[in-house]
């Protein structure tokens, strides 16, 4: 019997953490129990992107979009959606534009409306563990096209025409990298995929690999043909077990189909893969450090030139791009560079995937054309700030980037615009902050990260990050001076000029940009010794107003360290020595009796 319905269960990391596998298994059991197992195909896909509402289950062809599903819903989903052909209304996603549930269409969900999916084209549509599903969506057609209809130069010209720039952060034109390697005279060349996504708060590459591993393999093989390389190496974080497993399955299936290995599709072109697991070092996202790590060494960067394109892995010419860059390439080959250039802005073509997180209603993975404004991302796609709080800033580029304030809400986001305002594209982390976030605290957070991740090879980064952190720490304790603020600018500027690699050169960015846009907040910490957001613990004190406290005991029960005491119906007291300043009591008190100062 032919399959009538498809049930797609999101198998992205966030949904997986919320029992997606149990849901998947329960759906199968229920379909079996209700006798419809032959009518329905149940698929675990890659990330749908709408992580906020996960776990997500989608029914095709009806396009029912079920959110926050739990394993116990399986029975009803099968009996209603599959057996009776109706929708389970209570699970349908509704946003404020859709009053009538029966007019539902996934395309209408605001979260998806402004998105254009090129990189994530297959995520949430196919079973990433089945090569046939990738092939059914034009998979490996681009490889076939280059092998039989294009010369290596044609491939590079198509890429040049597309204007694709590296998505790892720096935005270097991809075709130039390829062209350098192609032009290098050497019998052995390598193609490397940088999947060492280490930016905290970013998971675009992980989701791409988990949801559509073949797109990266296909792209790397295309590069191999274009530059004359026969080996691809994927360097991926060991912390991404699901992505690693799916890549391994994908490589095996592609070999079995003759799409990888010797004499691909009878063309005479050979290409195969190796997977290397990173071991947890942010600096290995820097390409020279990554190559040293693959070679089995401490992942310390080396000066450029020589560039990896000419002298890379094992000293051989090497093309190295990140996951998102690779995932664009099959589509560019199939639809043409001109098509790609038509999306985005003049100097930044195509789309960008962002991991939208923080104080935002719809956190998740979003892919938008370059040139989309921050306002569209935060308010239209992201659904605005949580709990109707005030927007404060967005940090792009993680520890290498900077803050964008509300003045930049209408700035089109592309590589050059972000650099012009003192931030950077980075790999795509986008953290939204609200009025409760302290800018000094966030800068300190990033600097602490950089101190830990600095490899220590060059003094500007090793010493600079530490000095910057110490100063921020002092400021967060109310002991900073005006001179400290000046010193941070001096140190930061020196690091930008003198550090060996991108890590050290960009590490001061969060501080320099926040100093520029939130100088007042730094001055409050320095002059007035206050942290209005209440994040800098040493500057915060929680107290109970005896006049307002009715002795309900809620705060005492909520206090995780048991430092609030008092009799029932009598005012309570906080033991200041024991208090960990977690603010749980402040959030729990319904009578406004707890003050934060």
Partner 1 sequence: MSCADCGNIAKEAREIVAEVGSEPEKVIPLLQEIQNRHGYLSQELVEAVAEEIKLPVSRLYGVATFYSQFRFEPIGKNLIKVCKGTACHVAGAEKVYSIISEKLGIEEGETTDDQLFTLESVACLGCCSLAPVVMINDSIYGKLNPAKMGKILKEYADGK
Closest CA to 319 of 445, 238, 233: 233
Region near partner 1 per CB under 8 A, out of 173-181, 249-257, 416-424, 447-455: 447-455
Q: Closer to partner 1 at the Cβ: 334 or 580?
A: 580
Question: Considering the rule CB under 8 A, would residue 455 count as an interface residue with partner 1?
Answer: yes
**Cross-strand partners of 273:** 232
Q: Helix, strand, or coil here: 206?
A: helix
Q: Cis before residue 537, ω within 30 degrees of 0? A: no
Percent of the chain as helix, strand, coil, to the nearest 5:
45, 15, 40
Residues 69-88 that bind partner 1 (CB under 8 A): none
Q: Helix, strand, or coil here: 275?
A: strand
DSSP string, 528-578: I---TTS-SGGG--EEE-TTT-----HHHHH-TT--EE--TTS--EE-TTT
Region near partner 1 per CB under 8 A, out of 200-208, 259-267, 324-332, 404-412: 200-208
Question: Considering the rule CB under 8 A, would residue 211 count as an interface residue with partner 1?
Answer: no
Q: CA–CA distance from 297 to each of 193, 256, 415 (Å)?
A: 18, 33, 32
| Least spacing, CB of residue 584 vs partner 1, in Å | 6
Region near partner 1 per CB under 8 A, out of 128-136, 354-362, 459-467, 482-490: 354-362
Q: Which position among 58, 189, 352, 359 is part of the footprint of partner 1 (CB under 8 A)? A: 359
Report the alpha-carbon distance of residue 468 to residue 486 in Å, rounded: 11
Question: Considering the rule CB under 8 A, would residue 390 count as an interface residue with partner 1?
Answer: no
Residues 415-444 that bind partner 1 (CB under 8 A): 429, 431, 433, 437, 442
Q: Which position among 10, 31, 40, 51 is part of the footprint of partner 1 (CB under 8 A)? A: 51
Report the alpha-carbon distance of residue 451 to residue 282 in Å, rounded: 11
**Cross-strand partners of 369:** 351
Q: Closer to partner 1 at the Cβ: 47 or 82?
A: 47
* 427 DSSP 8-state letter: S
Q: Closer to partner 1 at the Cβ: 457 or 474?
A: 457
| Least spacing, CB of residue 578 vs partner 1, in Å | 10
Region near partner 1 per CB under 8 A, out of 111-119, 302-310, 402-410, 575-583: 575-583
Question: Considering the rule CB under 8 A, would residue 200 count as an interface residue with partner 1?
Answer: yes
| Least spacing, CB of residue 335 vs partner 1, in Å | 30
Report the alpha-carbon distance of residue 466 to residue 273 in Å, rounded: 39
Q: Closer to partner 1 at the Cβ: 319 or 579?
A: 579
Closest CA to 253 of 125, 126, 133, 124: 133
| Least spacing, CB of residue 368 vs partner 1, in Å | 18
Report the alpha-carbon distance of residue 253 to residue 270 in Å, rounded: 16
Report the alpha-carbon distance of residue 501 to residue 301 in Å, rounded: 7
Q: What x/- string results for residues 255 through 294 when contact with partner 1 is judged by CB under 8 A?
A: ---------------------xxxxxxx----------xx
| Least spacing, CB of residue 510 vs partner 1, in Å | 10
| Least spacing, CB of residue 424 vs partner 1, in Å | 15
Total residues at interface with partner 1 (CB under 8 A): 57
Report the alpha-carbon distance of residue 141 to residue 327 in Å, rounded: 14
Using CB under 8 A, list all residues that contact partner 1: 13-14, 17-18, 51-52, 54, 198-203, 206, 238-240, 276-282, 293-300, 355, 357-359, 363-364, 395, 398, 429, 431, 433, 437, 442, 445-446, 449, 452, 455, 558, 560-561, 580, 582-584
């Amino acid at each position: 019997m032919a399959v009538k319905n498809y049930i797609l269960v999101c198998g992205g990391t966030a949904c997986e953490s919320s029992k997606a596998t149990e849901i998947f298994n329960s759906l199968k059991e229920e379909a079996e129990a209700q006798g419809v197992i032959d009518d329905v195909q149940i698929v675990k896909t890659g990330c749908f992107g709408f992580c906020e509402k996960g776990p997500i289950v989608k029914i095709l062809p009806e396009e029912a979009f079920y959110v926050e599903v739990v394993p116990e819903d399986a029975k009803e989903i099968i009996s209603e959606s599959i057996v009776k052909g109706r929708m389970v209304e209570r699970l349908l996603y509704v946003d404020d534009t859709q009053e009538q549930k029966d007019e539902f269409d996934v395309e209408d969900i605001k979260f998806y409306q402004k998105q254009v999916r090129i990189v994530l084209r297959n995520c949430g549509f196919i079973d990433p563990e089945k090569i046939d599903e990738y092939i059914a969506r034009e998979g490996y057609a681009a490889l076939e096209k280059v092998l039989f209809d294009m010369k290596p130069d044609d491939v590079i010209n198509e890429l040049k025409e597309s204007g694709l720039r590296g998505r790892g952060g720096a935005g270097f034109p991809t075709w130039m990298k390829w062209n350098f390697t192609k032009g290098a005279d050497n019998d052995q060349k390598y193609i490397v995929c940088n999947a060492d996504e280490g930016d905290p708060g970013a998971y675009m590459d992980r989701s791409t690999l988990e949801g559509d591993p073949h797109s990266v393999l296909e792209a790397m093989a295309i590069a191999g043909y274009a530059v004359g390389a026969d080996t691809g190496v994927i360097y991926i974080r060991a912390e991404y077990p699901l992505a690693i497993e799916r890549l391994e399955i994908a490589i095996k299936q592609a070999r079995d189909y003759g799409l990888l290995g010797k004499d691909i599709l009878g063309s005479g072109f050979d290409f195969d893969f190796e997977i290397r697991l990173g071991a947890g070092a942010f600096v290995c996202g820097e390409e020279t450090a990554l190559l040293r790590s693959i070679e089995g060494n401490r992942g310390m960067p080396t000066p450029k030139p020589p560039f990896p394109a000419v002298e890379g892995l094992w000293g051989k010419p090497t093309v190295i791009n990140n996951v998102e860059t690779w995932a664009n390439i099959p589509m560019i080959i199939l639809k043409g560079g001109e098509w790609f250039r038509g999306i985005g802005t003049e100097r930044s073509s195509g789309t960008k995937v962002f991991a939208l997180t923080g104080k935002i209603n719809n956190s998740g993975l979003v892919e938008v054309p370059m040139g989309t404004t921050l306002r569209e991302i935060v308010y239209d796609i992201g659904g605005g700030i949580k709990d109707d709080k005030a927007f404060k800033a967005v940090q792009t580029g993680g520890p290498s980037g900077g803050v964008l304030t509300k003045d930049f809400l209408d700035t089109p986001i592309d590589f050059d615009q972000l650099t012009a305002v003192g931030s950077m594209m980075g790999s795509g982390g986008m953290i939204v902050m609200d009025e409760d976030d302290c800018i000094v605290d966030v800068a300190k957070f990033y600097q602490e990260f950089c101190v830990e991740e600095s490899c220590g090879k060059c003094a500007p980064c090793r010493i600079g990050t530490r000095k910057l952190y110490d100063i921020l720490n002092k400021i967060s304790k109310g002991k900073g001076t005006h001179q400290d603020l000046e010193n941070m600018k001096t140190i930061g500027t020196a690091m930008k000029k003198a550090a060996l690699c991108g890590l050290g050169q960009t590490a001061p960015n969060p501080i320099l940009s926040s100093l520029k846009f939130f100088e007042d907040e730094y001055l409050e910490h320095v002059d007035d010794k206050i942290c209005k957001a209440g994040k800098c613990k040493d500057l915060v004190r929680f107290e109970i107003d005896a006049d307002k406290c009715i002795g309900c005991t809620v705060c005492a029960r909520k206090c995780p360290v048991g430092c609030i005491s008092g009799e029932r119906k009598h005012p309570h007291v906080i033991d200041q020595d024991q208090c960990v300043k977690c603010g749980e009591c402040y959030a729990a008190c319904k009578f406004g009796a707890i003050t934060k100062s």
